[in-house]
Amino acid sequence: MNIRAATPSDALALATIYNYYVRETIVTFEEEPVSVEIFSRRIEDVLASALPWLVAFEDQTAVGYAYATPWKPRRGYRFSVEVTVYVADGYAGRSIGSALYAELFQLLEARGVHAAMGGIALPNDASMALHEKFGMRKVAHFEQVGFKFGRWIDVGYWERIFAATGVC
């Protein structure tokens, strides 16, 4: 597996990974597939905020991605991010998410990020285990805040505080 920084030219492959989750699962609350153009803009926005977006490849095939976005827009939140990881359908259990998060968290800590949060639509044992593997702990549980496929869905938040408290 090879991990590198994503570029807008990866949008088709990454939108394909993401849109499986849009169509088939509750892990995202988007209900319509995201176009390549919109996905490309999302990548550009993350890169413009000086945060990492990583993509993992196996044999020239994109098999997962992870990125960080600003937690909130107000200046006082500048040392906090939200992290996200997706693994292509059929590739779960191959440590792709772990490899992506290991690299992402290393980059975030080097950038002086102080806190990382991850939101998880519940139930999702695999995602909870992945976040906890990287030192994240559950800090919030919101009941019935999402609605998809005709049902209400809870969302939990996991947080990791990094030792470094430098400037982003």
Here the CATH number for the domain that contains residue 24 is 3.40.630.30
What is the pLDDT confidence band of residue 165, given thresholds at 50, 70 and 90?
low
Q: Is residue 54 part of a domain?
A: yes
Whether the CB-CB separation of 29 and 144 falls below 8 Å is answered with: no
Instruction: List, for residues 42-74, the tens digit of each pLDDT value.
Output: 999 999 999 999 999 999 999 999 999 999 999
Instruction: List, for residues 81-101, the tens digit of each pLDDT value.
Output: 999 999 999 999 999 999 999
> What CA–CA distance (Å, rounded) separates 109 from 95?
21
What is the pLDDT confidence band of residue 166, given thresholds at 50, 70 and 90?
low
Number of domains in the chain: 1
> What CA–CA distance (Å, rounded) separates 152 from 150?
7
Q: Is residue 168 part of a domain?
A: no
Instruction: List, for residues 111-157, the tens digit of each pLDDT value.
Output: 999 999 999 999 999 999 999 999 999 999 999 999 999 999 999 99
pLDDT at 163: 81
Q: Is residue 80 part of a domain?
A: yes
- 106 contact partners, CB below 8 Å, separation of at least 6: none
Q: Is residue 165 part of a domain?
A: no
What is the pLDDT confidence band of residue 167, given thresholds at 50, 70 and 90?
low
Whether the CB-CB separation of 79 and 113 falls below 8 Å is answered with: yes
Q: Is residue 24 part of a domain?
A: yes
- Domain limits at 56? 2-114
Amino acid identity for residue 125 in this structure: D
Q: What is the mean pLDDT of the chain?
A: 96
Q: Is residue 81 part of a domain?
A: yes
Q: Is residue 155 part of a domain?
A: no
State the residue for tokens 């992402």.
104
The token pair that represents 110 in the structure block: 């080097």
Q: Is residue 84 part of a domain?
A: yes
